[in-house]
Amino acid sequence: MQAELIIAHAAQLLTVAGGHGPKRGTAMADVGIIEDGALAVRRGRIVAVGPTNEVLADFAAARVVDARGKVVLPGFVDPHTHLVWAGDRAGEFEQRVAGATYMEIMASGGGIMSTVRATRAAPLDELVAQSRARLDRMLAHGTTTAEVKTGYGLELQAELKMLAAIALLDAQHPVDLVPTFLGAHAVPAEYAGRADEYVDLVVDVMLPAIAQGVKGYGSGENDLTPNPSPITPVFCDVFCDQGAFTLEQSRRVLEAARAYGMGLKIHADEFEPLGGTRLAVELGAISADHLVCTSPEEIELLAQSDTIGVALPGTPFGLGHHQYTPARAFIEAGGALALATDLNPGTCWCESMPFIIALACRYMHLTPAEAITAATRNAACAVGLGEETGSLEVGKRADVIILEVDDYRHLGYRFGTNPVQTVIKRGEIVKEGSTA
């Protein structure tokens, strides 16, 4: 049979295959290695995976990529990013190095609010241009699908502008983007001391407008006429932490979002344990993210649930902290763990999933195989795309990366350089032949 593209003779091809849904517990260590492996692609989907001699016996293609001496695996899925923002916070980084804490900077009007000011002020095309440069680096490091949150607008028009930026980037760029509404990322300065009133705005004004696909951004100042929505968020997230939103406020936002049919996510236990993980399980959230200071009881509860735990080891690293998600306990209790960058201008400006894997191996004691499962299959499940991407199985999108190494354990082992040589997105080669 004719295919459009064949990748053949991989030293190791990792399928990360296995039934439906995420891999849990000990199953995370099984990445499905095929030596001298191959795969064939037709119309952007995988039509065959297996030993090279078997695939080549059944398929021919005009384009055959020789992966001799290389590792082939699913493109990374980054299930937690704040990709879209304007400006930077290099000055705050310098303050933190000198001893100021993230929460002190936030309490004095910097932090997230500093990026909110820059993002509100940026024209849409500028916001898209700055974010596209980051998305290009994500792709170069092997990410083929990413979740992207709003949350630097914190007023309806600016949140819609962020959604418009996500929609434009999704349309223009090979990386598939999954939008999440994070209106409850911080209490904006104009609501200081009135957090409950800001939650009213999120629940009564922003969520209905955004979830019902209201009104495009950009048709005029404060124009809420029924243009098609730039993009309807799939998920709603909330930053449940000290200095952000309480457990009760988080519950209000998530319950309202659930009533609109949105999937739920939560930033839980990044700085202080407020009970966000338990809430995620109770509400049936698709994921609970951060989980740095989660109690052993809640780790156990999460592990027994269908909610995926998303660890973001770039964030404690970026903050210079020493406490990481207790991933071993979570996996050993049978949990489904995913990994993400948390790419954002405050705590973790990192576009590289290979670097996140290197951190996860060292500080969360994942094996390279577990970390790869967490960054591919389980990450796809954490954004609701487990049936589409995240593994190399017949019928799935041909989202594939080729590493310039012959043993998958070099992922994790090495860091600071980019092992990703070739990136294939929906069957198209979108990065070729260089590790720069």
Q: Which residues bind ligand NIG (CB under 6 A)?
A: 82, 111-112, 115, 239, 267, 270, 315, 342, 344-347
User: Is residue 78 part of the contact set for Fe ion (CB under 5 A)?
Assistant: no
Give yes or no for a contact between 304 and 278, defined as CB atoms under 8 angstroms apart: no
Q: Which of 315/422 has CB closer to ligand NIG?
A: 315
Contacts 24+ apart (CB under 8 A), 99-105: 102/271, 102/319, 102/346, 102/347, 103/242, 103/243, 103/271
Least separation, in Å, of the C-beta of 346 and ligand NIG? 2
- In whole angstroms, the minimum distance from the beta carbon of 318 to ligand NIG comes to 8
Q: What is the 3-state secondary structure (H, E, C) of 303-370?
A: HCCCCEEEECCHHHHHHCCCCCCCHHHHHHCCCCEEECCCCECCCECCCCHHHHHHHHHHHCCCCHHH
Q: Which is nearer to Fe ion, 240 or 364 (CB)?
A: 240
Q: How far apart are CA 135 and CA 138, in angstroms?
A: 5
> CA–CA separation, 98 vs 320, rounded Å?
11
Strands 33-42 vs 45-51: parallel, antiparallel or unpaired = antiparallel
Please say which residue, 110 or 427, places its beta carbon nearer to ligand NIG. Answer: 110
Residue nearest to ligand NIG (CB): 346
Residue 111: name the closest of 131, 85, 148 by CA: 85
- Our CB check for ligand NIG shows the closer of 117 and 410 to be 117
Q: How far is the CB of 220 from ligand NIG (least distance, A)?
A: 29
Between 115 and 418, whose beta carbon lies closer to ligand NIG? 115
CB of 267 to Fe ion, least distance (A): 5
- Which of 317, 408 has the CB closer to ligand NIG? 317
Q: Which is nearer to ligand NIG, 74 or 276 (CB)?
A: 276
| Range in contact with Fe ion (rule: CB under 5 A) among 30-38, 120-128, 139-147, 336-344 | 336-344
Question: Residue 181 binds which entry of ligand NIG, Fe ion, none, with Cβ cut-offs from 5 to 8 Å by kind?
Answer: none
Q: How far is the CB of 107 from Fe ion (least distance, A)?
A: 19
Partner whose binding site includes residue 229, from Fe ion, ligand NIG, none (CB under 5 to 8 Å by kind): none
Radius of gyration of the chain (CA): 21
Q: How far is the CB of 66 from ligand NIG (least distance, A)?
A: 41
User: Which of these ranges, 150-158, 335-343, 360-368, 407-415, lies near Fe ion under the rule CB under 5 A?
Assistant: 335-343
Residue with smaller CB distance to Fe ion, 269 or 342: 342
Spatial neighbors of 60 by CB under 8 A, at least 6 apart, are 1, 2, 3, 6
Q: Could you tell me which residues come within 8 angstroms of residue 327 by beta carbon, excluding any fewer than 6 positions away?
A: 309, 311, 337, 360, 364, 365, 366
Q: Is the dihedral of CA 258, 260, 266, 272 positive or negative?
A: negative
In whole angstroms, give the CA distance from residue 307 to residue 175.
25
Parallel, antiparallel, or unpaired: how do β-strands 428-431 and 263-268 relate? unpaired
Contact by Cβ (8 Å): 77, 389: yes
- Which position among 342, 351, 370, 399 is part of the footprint of Fe ion (CB under 5 A)? 342
Among Fe ion, ligand NIG, none, partner that 352 touches (CB below 5 to 8 angstroms by kind): none
Six-digit token string for 16: 């990360």
Shortest Å distance, C-beta 152 to ligand NIG: 7
Our finding on whether 237 is near Fe ion (CB under 5 A) is no
What is the nearest approach in angstroms of Fe ion to the Cβ of residue 223? 30
Size of the site for Fe ion (CB under 5 A): 1
Centre a 10 Å sphere on the Cβ of residue 212 and count the other Cβ atoms it contains. 12
Residues near Fe ion, by CB under 5 A? 342
